[in-house]
Amino acid sequence: MANDREVLREIWDGKLPVCFQLDQEEIMEIQQPDPFYVMVPRLSYFPLVIDKMKRHFLRYISQENADNEMWMDYNGQPLKWHYPIGFLYDLYCGNDPQTPWTLTVHFSKFPGNILLHCPNKDVVEAHYMSTVKEADVLKHRGQIMSAMQKKDHNQLWLGLQNDKFDQFWAINRRLMESHGDNDGFKHIPIRIYAEDGTCTQRLISPKNIDGSRKIIQQLITELYPEKPVKLRTHGITIPLDTPLQWLSEHLSYPDNFLHICVC
Amino acid sequence: MAYELTAEGFLSSAKAFIETSNLLHDDWILYENLDICKSYIQKNTFINVKGQLFKTEFVIFYHLSYGVPTFSFNIWDSTGTILNLEDIRKISFTEINQKDFYSVITQQEHPVLCRPFFIMHPCHTYQLLSSLSESKNIIVTFLGLITPLINLQLSSKYGL
């Protein structure tokens, strides 16, 4: 179980400075809007942290676009709101860190062939809960999530949404336990993304065939036999001797998946 | 409870399904991938609902986490606009209330095709398939379960 509380706390407290700028084409006023600076939790999702930014820019845009769905890009790359913010930063800026992270805000030309629609925060919650559920299917055949009550599910979500570490971990710790005599999850919920954003998902056991703990080095050899790669998450290059089970318990995002970038 | 379908099992069912589809000229196509978990079958077609024509793409893929076949689709109207979930509910085969419909189908990033799709939640599929006995072809059985929701016009010659 997730025992290294300091690590959990450190990961939870990770923040990114972001600078939002309104797309020049959207500006309908003579006066240019100031950029909007904010510190955002790495573990959160953009739709949960951009209400103020949206209000800041609304009065500069054409009123006919005011009810449109807002979206953002980094260097022309539309940002997928359904991934945690810190993961998106690692994916696009991991090799060349820049702070503040400068993003462009749009109120028109929503790229519906790339981005999911997000009309309200309920959609974020539904997406989050279904991802936690999927992770639990991989770890415990879904038994922990289905044994929980609705109020526990709510507490997870509210803990994340309101940045309440204790509230969140009071529930999440149950999802991080392994059961029976078998010390470890059935499979590790892990998604590994190439630089172009394409994702590899495999059924990964936390153990080797001989029953020993599988470490990152062994995972890399398994997935990338031709050339060794480095893996990054939460802005950290993962040490090669890290056991997968420990990684899953401590460095998973709140959706209970490890989101890892190849670098 | 112990329902298990491997990616290999899915692929062999998909191949058998495509053979039937070819005999019936039903236009399902198999896309095999080197990464066996990313093989899928697809059918692009037009459907007519209450006099309106829609373009549809249907994709059935193997959901790695749940270990079940999963149904996904997109629908465009005649102006080329992609339909949202509420539009889709209105042209659904059966009358179904918003809450129930939304709990079964949501827009997600496709795990195989990596772009937005409407996907039927695999957790329900898992429960349903677990409660059924052995079937001749898991994809046919699966499609039989979901046709009430999506107007698929699947021929009974598949052995439903």
Locate the chain B residue with the closest alpha carbon to A132.
B65
Query: Would you call A114 an interface residue with chain B, using a CB distance cutoff of 8 Å?
Result: yes
What average pLDDT score do residues A99-127 get? 94
List of chain B residues whose C-beta atoms are within 8 Å of the C-beta of residue A134: 65-66
First to last CA, chain A: 29
Q: How many Å separate Cα B91 from the centre of its chain? A: 16
List of chain A residues whose C-beta atoms are within 8 Å of the C-beta of residue B64: 201-203
Which one-letter amino acid corresponds to residue A32?
Answer: Q
Asked whether the beta carbons of residue B115 and residue A114 sit closer than 8 angstroms, the reply is yes
What average pLDDT score do residues A104-119 get? 94
What average pLDDT score do residues A130-146 get? 94
Q: In the prediction, which pLDDT does B133 show?
A: 63
| Of A77, A97, A141, A134, nearest in space to A252 by CA | A134
| Of A155, A157, A133, nearest in space to A146 by CA | A133
Across chain B, the runs of DSSP E, i.e. the strands, are: 29-31, 40-49, 52-63, 68-76, 105-109, 116-120
Q: Of B107, B121, B123, which has the smallest distance from its Cβ to A116's Cβ?
A: B107
List of chain A residues whose C-beta atoms are within 8 Å of the C-beta of residue B107: 116-117
pLDDT single digits (tens) B61-107: 999 999 999 999 999 999 988 888 888 887 776 666 777 777 788 89
Angle, helices A244-251 vs A216-223, to 10°: value is: 100
pLDDT single digits (tens) A34-68: 999 999 999 999 999 999 999 999 999 999 999 99
Across chain A, the runs of DSSP E, i.e. the strands, are: 15-22, 36-41, 71-74, 77-78, 101-106, 190-193, 199-200, 231-233, 236-237, 258-262
Higher per-residue pLDDT: B122 or B109 = B109
List of chain B residues whose C-beta atoms are within 8 Å of the C-beta of residue A115: 116
Q: In the prediction, which pLDDT does A228 show?
A: 86
CA distance A187 to A30: 56
Interface test with B, best of A80, A118, A133, A201 (most B CBs within 10 A): A201
> What ipTM does the predicted assembly reach?
0.88
CA distance A251 to A260: 10
Distances (CA, A) of B126 to A150, B2, B68, B70, B160: 21, 10, 6, 10, 19
pLDDT single digits (tens) A79-94: 999 999 999 999 999 8
Q: In the prediction, which pLDDT does B150 show?
A: 67
Q: Of A117, A189, A198, which has the smallest distance from its Cβ to B114's Cβ?
A: A198
Asked whether the beta carbons of residue B108 and residue A198 sit closer than 8 angstroms, the reply is no
**How far away is chain A from the Cα of B108, in angstroms, using its nearest Cα?**
7
Q: Of A112, A115, A133, which has the smallest distance from its Cβ to B123's Cβ?
A: A133
Interface test with B, best of A87, A129, A133 (most B CBs within 10 A): A133
Query: Would you call A69 an interface residue with chain B, using a CB distance cutoff of 8 Å?
Result: no
Higher per-residue pLDDT: B138 or B6 = B6
pLDDT single digits (tens) A177-221: 987 656 799 999 999 998 887 888 899 999 999 999 999 999 999
Contacts of B63 (CB under 8 A, 6+ apart): B69, B70, B111, B122
Token code pair at residue B151 = 């107007």
List of chain A residues whose C-beta atoms are within 8 Å of the C-beta of residue B115: 113-114
pLDDT single digits (tens) B8-28: 999 999 999 999 889 888 889
Asked whether the beta carbons of residue B65 and residue A82 sit closer than 8 angstroms, the reply is no
Q: In the prediction, which pLDDT does A156 show?
A: 97
Token code pair at residue A17 = 């400075």
Mean pLDDT across chain B: 84
**How far away is chain B from the Cα of A140, in angstroms, using its nearest Cα?**
11
| Of B38, B48, B34, B47, nearest in space to B14 by CA | B38
Interface test with B, best of A77, A82, A116, A255 (most B CBs within 10 A): A116
Q: DSSP characters for A107-142? A: SSS--TTTSPP--SHHHHHHHHHHHHHHHHHHHHTT
Question: Residues 203..242 of A with a Cβ closer than 8 Å to B: which?
Answer: 203
Q: In the prediction, which pLDDT does A155 show?
A: 97
Query: Would you call A41 an interface residue with chain B, using a CB distance cutoff of 8 Å?
Result: no
- Using DSSP's 3-state secondary structure scheme, residue B134 falls into coil
Q: In the prediction, which pLDDT does B1 show?
A: 42
| Of B11, B117, B24, nearest in space to B71 by CA | B117
Contacts of B76 (CB under 8 A, 6+ apart): B54, B55, B56, B82, B83
Q: Is B159 a residue whose pLDDT tops 90? A: no
Q: Return the percentage of chain A with pLDDT > 70, whole number.
A: 98
- Tokens 């599910």 belong to A153
Asked whether the beta carbons of residue B108 and residue A117 sit closer than 8 angstroms, the reply is no
Q: Which residues of B touch A (CB under 8 A)?
A: 35, 37, 64-66, 82, 84, 106-109, 111, 114-116, 121, 123, 126
